[in-house]
């Protein structure tokens, strides 16, 4: 059972386009994290959102946590080829506890 | 960089043989995790540890065992490797009081 549904699973766009990745669940999480992974490497944390309705920005990336803390989105403005990679959302239910990962979104940005 | 080293980085083995993957950390964190990553599944938790000799099963633990005799080392063993265990395996640590996990570079395992 996949508790975190991530969509889309694949996205291929041109440089300069905008995109949004969604992470949805029927469960409430204490926090939600977004990771980025490049080929041959482990995932690296981009951001953690904790409060319902929270919005965080990281340069051209905007992350939002749903009001009910069940879903999140990642929006990239004016995508660059350097944004290419696998994006993973992960939900936590308690401190120091296990994470539940979404299936991942494979993003390809073509110049 | 959380000082996590996974070894080996690549391994090819035959069905039925035992395989042990090692995760070594340099920062004495209590929480350590083993995941496998397969296309379309994201990361799935195999086993985790909250300290020396304190381990528990994750969602895909069948066919795997773990040991943690020292804080810095978390070993994942495939008792009798099967082709379905061909995957990329990641070790992660979490710092005390945080949900954020820091990952090693992974081990690519092929079972023929």
* Number of Cβ atoms within 10 Å of the Cβ of A94: 10
Asked whether A59 and A45 are in contact (CB, 8 A), the reply is no
Contact between chains at B99 and A41 (C-beta distance less than 8 A): no
pLDDT of residue A2 exceeding 70, the answer is no
CA–CA min distance A77, chain B (Å): 24
Q: Distance between CA atoms of B109 and B75, rounded to whole angstroms? A: 15
Of B45, B48, B103, which is closest to A43 when you measure between CB atoms?
B103
Mean pLDDT of A36-42: 93
Contact between chains at A42 and B98 (C-beta distance less than 8 A): no
Q: Mean pLDDT over all residues of chain B?
A: 94
Per-residue pLDDT at A106: 96
pLDDT of residue A21 exceeding 90, the answer is yes
Q: Mean pLDDT over all residues of chain A?
A: 93
**Strand (E) or helix (H) holding A101:** strand A99-101
Contact between chains at B99 and A101 (C-beta distance less than 8 A): no
Band the pLDDT of B108: cuts 50, 70, 90. Answer: very high
Is residue A73 exposed (0-12), middle (13-18) or buried (19+ Cβ within 10 Å)?
middle
Rg of chain A over all Cα atoms, to the nearest angstrom: 13
Per-residue pLDDT at A97: 72
Q: Distance between CA atoms of A21 and A83, rounded to whole angstroms? A: 13
Contacts of B1 (CB under 8 A, 6+ apart): none
Q: Is the dihedral of CA B31, A69, A42, A60 positive or negative?
A: negative
Nearest to B71 by CA among B24, B107, B38, B35: B24
Contact between chains at B42 and A88 (C-beta distance less than 8 A): yes
Per-residue pLDDT at B14: 96
Per-residue pLDDT at A1: 54
Give residue-wise pLDDT tens across range B43-77: 999 999 999 999 999 999 999 999 999 999 999 99
Q: Distance between CA atoms of A101 and A89, rounded to whole angstroms? A: 6
Give residue-wise pLDDT tens across range B86-102: 999 999 999 877 788 99
Residue of chain A with shortest Cα separation from B88? A40
Q: Distance between CA atoms of B31 and B51, rounded to whole angstroms? A: 6
Give residue-wise pLDDT tens across range A73-98: 999 999 999 999 999 999 987 755 78
Q: Distance between CA atoms of B2 and A45, rounded to whole angstroms? A: 12
Give residue-wise pLDDT tens across range A40-50: 899 999 999 99
């Amino acid at each position: 059972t996949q508790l975190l549904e991530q969509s889309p699973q694949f996205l291929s766009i041109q440089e300069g386009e905008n995109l949004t990745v969604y992470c949805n669940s029927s469960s409430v999480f204490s926090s939600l994290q977004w990771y980025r992974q490049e080929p041959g490497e482990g995932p690296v944390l981009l951001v953690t959102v904790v409060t319902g309705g929270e919005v965080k920005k990281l340069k051209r990336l905007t992350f939002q946590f749903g009001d009910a803390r069940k879903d999140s989105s990642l929006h990239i403005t004016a995508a660059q080829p350097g944004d290419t990679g696998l994006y993973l959302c992960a939900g936590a239910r308690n401190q120091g506890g296990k994470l539940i990962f979404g299936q991942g979104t494979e993003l390809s940005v073509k110049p | 960089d959380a000082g996590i080293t996974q070894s080996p980085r690549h391994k090819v083995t035959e069905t039925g043989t035992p395989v042990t993957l090692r995760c070594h950390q340099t920062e004495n964190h209590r929480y350590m995790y083993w995941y496998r990553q397969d296309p379309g599944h994201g990361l799935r938790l195999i086993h985790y540890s909250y300290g020396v000799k304190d381990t528990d099963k994750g969602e895909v633990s069948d066919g795997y065992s773990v040991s943690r005799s020292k804080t810095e080392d978390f070993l994942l063993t495939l008792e009798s490797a099967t082709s379905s265990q061909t995957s990329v395996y990641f070790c992660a640590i979490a710092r005390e009081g945080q949900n954020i996990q820091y990952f090693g570079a992974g081990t690519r395992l092929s079972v023929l």
